[in-house]
Structure 1
Amino acid sequence: MFKGTLIAQIIAILGAIFLAKLYGEEAYGIFGVFISITSISSIISTLQLDNCIIISKDKIESVNWFNFLLLLVFVLISFACVVFFFSSFFITYKQEEINMIYFVVPGTLILSYNLLNVNLFTFNKEFTVISSSKIFLAIGTVFLQFILYKKFNLFGLIIGFLISQFLVLFFLFLKNKKNIIKPNFIKIKRDVKANSSIIKFLLPSNIINSFANNLMPILILAVFGAKEAGVYFFSFKILGAPLFLISSSVSQVFFQKASELFKTNKSELHRLTKKIVTTNLLLIFGFLVCINTIGMYVLELYFNNGWENLRLYVFILSMLIFARTSFNPISSLIIVLNKNQISLLFNVYLFAVNLIAIYIGYFYNTIIYTILTLAIFGGTGYLFLLLYFLNYLKKTASYNE
Structure 2
Amino acid sequence: MKIILNKLINSPFVKNVAIMATGTAGAQVITMALSPIITRLYGPEAFGMMGTFTALTRIIIPVAALTYPIAMVLPKSDKNAKGLMKLSLYITLAIAFITTLILLFFNNNIVNVFQIEEIAPFLYLIPLVIIFAGVMQVAQQWLIRTNQFSINAKATFLQSVVTNGSKAAIGFIYPAATVLVVLQAAGNGIRAFMMVMFARNSGYKSETQSYEESYSIRNLAKKYRDFPMYRSPQVFLGEFSENLPILLLTTFFGPASAGFYNIGRTVLGLPSRFIGQSIGDVFYPRISEAANNGENMSRLIAKATISLGAIGIIPFGIVIIFGPWLFEFVFGSGWDVAGEYARWISLTSFAVFMNKPSVRSMPVLNAQRFHLIYTIVLVATRCLALIIGFYIFNSDIIAIALFGISSLLLNIFLFIITLSLSKKLEKSNALEAK
TM-score of the aligned structures, taking structure 2 as reference length: 0.84
Q: By how many angstroms is 1:196 displaced?
A: 2.0
CA distances 1:325-346 after superposition (whole Å, capped 9, x unpaired): 2213441111111101111111
Q: By how many angstroms is 1:271 displaced?
A: 2.1
The residue aligned with 1:182 is none
The residue aligned with 2:384 is 356
Corresponding residue pairs, total: 395
Q: By how many angstroms is 1:277 displaced?
A: 0.8
Q: 2:58 aligns with which of 17, 24, 39?
A: 39
The residue aligned with 1:215 is 244
The residue aligned with 2:258 is 229
**2:345–2:400 Cα contact (<8 Å) kept:** yes
- Alpha-carbon separation, structure 2, partners of 1:306 and 1:48: 40
The residue aligned with 1:162 is 185
Q: By how many angstroms is 1:255 displaced?
A: 0.6
Q: By how many angstroms is 1:123 displaced?
A: 0.7
- Alpha-carbon separation, structure 1, partners of 2:306 and 2:74: 26
The residue aligned with 1:134 is 156
- SS of residue matched to 2:335: coil
Structure 1 letter corresponding to 2:51: G
Structure 2 letter corresponding to 1:153: A
What is the root-mean-square deviation in Å for CA atoms of aligned residues?
Answer: 2.4
- Alpha-carbon separation, structure 1, partners of 2:177 and 2:34: 17
The residue aligned with 2:134 is 112
Q: 1:121 to 1:4 in 2, by over 3 A?
A: same
**2:268–2:342 Cα contact (<8 Å) kept:** yes
- SS of residue matched to 2:216: helix
Q: By how many angstroms is 1:154 displaced?
A: 1.3
- Alpha-carbon separation, structure 2, partners of 1:302 and 1:253: 33
Higher mean C-alpha displacement, 327-336 vs 221-230: 327-336
**1:216–1:354 Cα contact (<8 Å) kept:** no
TM-score of the aligned structures, taking structure 1 as reference length: 0.91
The residue aligned with 2:9 is none
**1:239–1:314 Cα contact (<8 Å) kept:** yes
Q: Structure 2: which 5+ residue stretches go unaligned? A: 1-19, 205-213
Q: Structure 1: which 5+ residue stretches go unaligned? A: 180-184
The residue aligned with 1:332 is 360
Report whether the alignment pairs 1:260 with 2:289. Answer: yes
- Alpha-carbon separation, structure 2, partners of 1:175 and 1:211: 32
Q: By how many angstroms is 1:143 displaced?
A: 0.4
Q: By how many angstroms is 1:28 displaced?
A: 1.1
- Alpha-carbon separation, structure 2, partners of 1:373 and 1:366: 11
Report whether the alignment pairs 1:187 with 2:216. Answer: yes
- Alpha-carbon separation, structure 2, partners of 1:279 and 1:105: 39
Q: 1:284 to 1:39 in 2, by over 3 A?
A: same
Higher mean C-alpha displacement, 370-379 vs 315-324: 315-324
- Alpha-carbon separation, structure 2, partners of 1:257 and 1:279: 16
**1:47–1:199 Cα contact (<8 Å) kept:** yes
Identity of aligned residues (%): 20
Structure 2 letter corresponding to 1:15: L
Q: By how many angstroms is 1:46 displaced?
A: 0.8
The residue aligned with 1:311 is 339
Q: 2:169 aligns with which of 129, 147, 162?
A: 147
Structure 2 letter corresponding to 1:117: A
Q: 1:313 to 1:97 in 2, by over 3 A?
A: closer
Higher mean C-alpha displacement, 326-335 vs 158-167: 158-167
**1:4–1:131 Cα contact (<8 Å) kept:** yes
The residue aligned with 2:369 is 341
**2:382–2:406 Cα contact (<8 Å) kept:** no
**2:83–2:217 Cα contact (<8 Å) kept:** yes
The residue aligned with 1:27 is 46
Q: 1:249 aligns with which of 264, 278, 285?
A: 278
**1:11–1:138 Cα contact (<8 Å) kept:** yes
Q: 1:204 to 1:294 in 2, by over 3 A?
A: closer
Structure 2 letter corresponding to 1:242: P
**2:264–2:342 Cα contact (<8 Å) kept:** yes
The residue aligned with 1:7 is 26
